[in-house]
């Protein structure tokens, strides 16, 4: 049950990270999700990424909406800040929190119902405004929590557990994120930890709107023949375009420069993303080409995964608005009340 905390005991031989924390220190309470749910694997990947990045837990804010996926922040980063919003409203609450305090690392976790159905407008505007965040959609193509209705990412022609055919067109969140201006766009699979953990690490290091669509099978309502979000279907149709390594700026940079197979991209914060190309000619820095490639492979029935687009030098909402660097709660009256002379100048400028 969610209120049962995990025991604090741990094996003495476990290795602490650079901050002296163990992997256990990044866990949360005991998961109540169904055994085998993809969402639990994503929580494990987030825990691993935070541990490997030496993230100070008190600097992370995790936000979600409503759904099985949105319950998961309870199961990871138990020592971080958290906010469970109304269904589909996570992006605007995250935007507000980010504007009030840019010093935290923002992690939005949502479902395909939460972000592509009721929260589609919220998702779109947070991405297009360039909020600096890591936004993970745990995409199972179904409303898991409310027992298996089609969601807006269910593919046309796919079948529900009871054999009902979905006649509506699917929303592809990756294509949408690319179109809306996300500066880091990836897709992965909950069953591919080797791909997912580095993607989450890279997204957290990315200083702009980073989006990861993670296929995450719902074993209870969407893991049957006829589903396009089942473990078997995703494994059979997965087409990875690259593999990623993340090299933090303070560690020695060792990347494989073998011609044609690896590109290394230095981000604004100094971290280096080393991208091992798998698909011939795939260039993750070309947004238009990425959109065309996605559409082409989708028509061929493939699910393209990997880092699909990266702008290594993105802007963000604070840069666009010219906001103060200090958290709003640390501003004093003297900072907030500029005085009569300054007001007179502003008024004069508006005449
Ligand atoms: C305003 C509002 N409308 C509807 C619901 C009912 N509801 C709860 S979760 C959910 C869908 C969840 O689907 P998804 O986001 O895909 O999460 P999953 O459970 O599949 O991980 C719905 C429709 C609600 N809680 N609030
Ligand atoms: S109903 Fe589906 S999404 Fe929800 S916990 Fe169970 S397997 Fe996971
Ligand atoms: Mg869902």
pLDDT score at 251: 52
pLDDT score at 189: 96
Q: Is the pLDDT of residue 187 over 60?
A: yes
Are residues 63 and 93 in contact, defined by beta-carbon separation less than 8 angstroms? yes
Say yes or no: CB of residue 42 within 6 Å of ligand 2. no
pLDDT score at 277: 75
| Terminal-to-terminal C-alpha distance of the chain | 62
Q: Any idea which of 13-27, 101-115, 246-260, 317-331 has the lowest mean pLDDT?
A: 246-260
Residue 160: which of 173, 148, 152 has the closest Cα?
148
Say yes or no: CB of residue 39 within 6 Å of ligand 2. yes
Give, for ligand 1, the residue of 146, 217, 229 to mutate: max count of ligand atoms closer than 8 Å to Cβ.
146
pLDDT interval class at 259 (50, 70, 90): very low
Say yes or no: CB of residue 134 within 6 Å of ligand 2. no
DSSP 8-state assignment for residue 346: H
Give, for ligand 2, the residue of 42, 142, 144, 150 to mutate: max count of ligand atoms closer than 8 Å to Cβ.
144
Distance, CA 323 to ligand 1 centroid (Å)? 34
In this structure, which residue's CA is closest to atom 6 in ligand 1? 146
Q: Is the pLDDT of residue 73 over 70?
A: yes
Give, for ligand 2, the residue of 219, 222, 231 to mutate: max count of ligand atoms closer than 8 Å to Cβ.
219
Distance, CA 145 to ligand 3 centroid (Å)? 8
pLDDT score at 113: 98
Say yes or no: CB of residue 37 within 6 Å of ligand 2. yes
- Mean per-residue pLDDT over the chain, rounded: 92
Which ligand has the nearest atom to the CA of 70?
A: 1
Q: Is the pLDDT of residue 260 over 70?
A: no
Give, for ligand 2, the residue of 220, 224, 230, 231 to mutate: max count of ligand atoms closer than 8 Å to Cβ.
220
pLDDT tens digit string along 292-330? 999 999 999 999 999 999 999 999 999 999 999 999 999
Domain annotation for the chain: domains and CATH numbers? 23-321 (3.40.50.970)
Say yes or no: CB of residue 220 within 6 Å of ligand 2. yes
Which ligand has the nearest atom to the CA of 40?
A: 2
Alpha-carbon gap, residue 325 to 218, rounded angstroms? 41
pLDDT tens digit string along 193-232? 999 999 999 999 999 999 999 999 999 999 999 999 999 9
Alpha-carbon gap, residue 300 to 251, rounded angstroms? 41
pLDDT interval class at 250 (50, 70, 90): low
Which ligand has the nearest atom to the CA of 89?
A: 1
pLDDT interval class at 17 (50, 70, 90): very high
pLDDT score at 195: 94
pLDDT score at 266: 83
- DSSP states of 172-190: -HHHHHHHHT-SEEEEEET
Handedness of CA 115, 119, 123, 124 (dihedral sign): positive
pTM value is 0.93
Q: Any idea which of 68-72, 199-203, 262-266 has the lowest mean pLDDT?
A: 262-266
pLDDT score at 1: 47
pLDDT score at 253: 43
Q: Is the pLDDT of residue 257 over 50?
A: no
Q: Which residue has the tokens 């269910």?
A: 154
Average pLDDT over residues 129-145: 98
Contacts of the segment 328-336: beta carbons below 8 A, 24+ positions apart: 328/99, 328/100, 328/101, 329/100, 329/101
Q: Any idea which of 17-26, 168-177, 258-267 has the lowest mean pLDDT?
A: 258-267
Alpha-carbon gap, residue 123 to 176, rounded angstroms? 10
pLDDT interval class at 3 (50, 70, 90): low
Say yes or no: CB of residue 140 within 6 Å of ligand 2. yes
Distance, CA 25 to ligand 1 centroid (Å)? 29
In this structure, which residue's CA is closest to atom 5 in ligand 2? 33
In this structure, which residue's CA is closest to atom 6 in ligand 2? 34
Distance, CA 338 to ligand 2 centroid (Å)? 53
DSSP 8-state assignment for residue 298: H
Average pLDDT over residues 63-78: 98
Ligand 1 pocket: which residues have CB below 6 Å? 66-69, 87, 111-114, 118, 138, 140, 142-146, 151
């Amino acid at each position: 049950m969610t209120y049962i905390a995990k025991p604090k005991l741990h094996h003495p031989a476990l290795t602490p990270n650079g901050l002296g924390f163990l992997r256990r220190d990044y866990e949360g309470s005991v998961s109540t999700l169904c055994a085998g749910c993809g969402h639990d694997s994503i929580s494990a990947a987030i825990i691993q990424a935070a541990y490997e990045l030496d993230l100070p837990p008190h600097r992370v804010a995790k936000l979600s909406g409503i759904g099985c996926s949105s319950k998961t922040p309870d199961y990871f980063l138990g020592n971080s800040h958290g906010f469970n919003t109304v269904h589909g409203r996570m992006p605007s609450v995250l935007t507000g929190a980010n504007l009030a305090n840019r010093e935290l690392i923002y992690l939005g976790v949502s479902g395909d119902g939460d972000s592509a159905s009721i929260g589609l407008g919220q998702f779109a505007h947070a991405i297009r405004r360039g909020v600096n965040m890591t936004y993970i959609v745990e995409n199972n193509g179904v409303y898991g929590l409310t027992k298996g209705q089609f969601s807006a990412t269910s593919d046309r022609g796919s079948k529900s557990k009871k054999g009902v055919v979905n006649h509506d067109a699917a929303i592809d969140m990756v294509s949408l994120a690319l179109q809306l201006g996300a500066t880091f766009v990836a897709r992965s699979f909950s069953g591919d930890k080797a791909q997912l953990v580095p993607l989450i690490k890279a997204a957290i290091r990315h200083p702009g709107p980073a989006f990861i669509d993670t296929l995450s099978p719902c074993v209870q309502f969407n893991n049957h023949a006829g589903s396009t979000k089942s473990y078997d279907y995703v494994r059979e149709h997965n087409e990875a375009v690259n593999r990623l390594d993340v090299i933090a700026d303070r560690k020695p940079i060792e990347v494989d420069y073998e011609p044609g197979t690896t590109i290394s991209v230095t981000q604004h914060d100094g971290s280096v993303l080393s991208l091992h190309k798998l698909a011939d000619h795939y260039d993750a820095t070309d947004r238009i080409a990425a959109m065309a490639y996605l559409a082409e492979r989708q028509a061929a029935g493939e699910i393209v995964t990997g880092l699909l687009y990266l702008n290594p030098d993105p802007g963000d909402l604070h840069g666009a608005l010219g906001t103060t660097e200090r958290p709003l709660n640390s501003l004093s009256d003297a900072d907030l009340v500029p005085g009569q002379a300054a007001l007179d100048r502003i008024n004069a400028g508006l005449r």
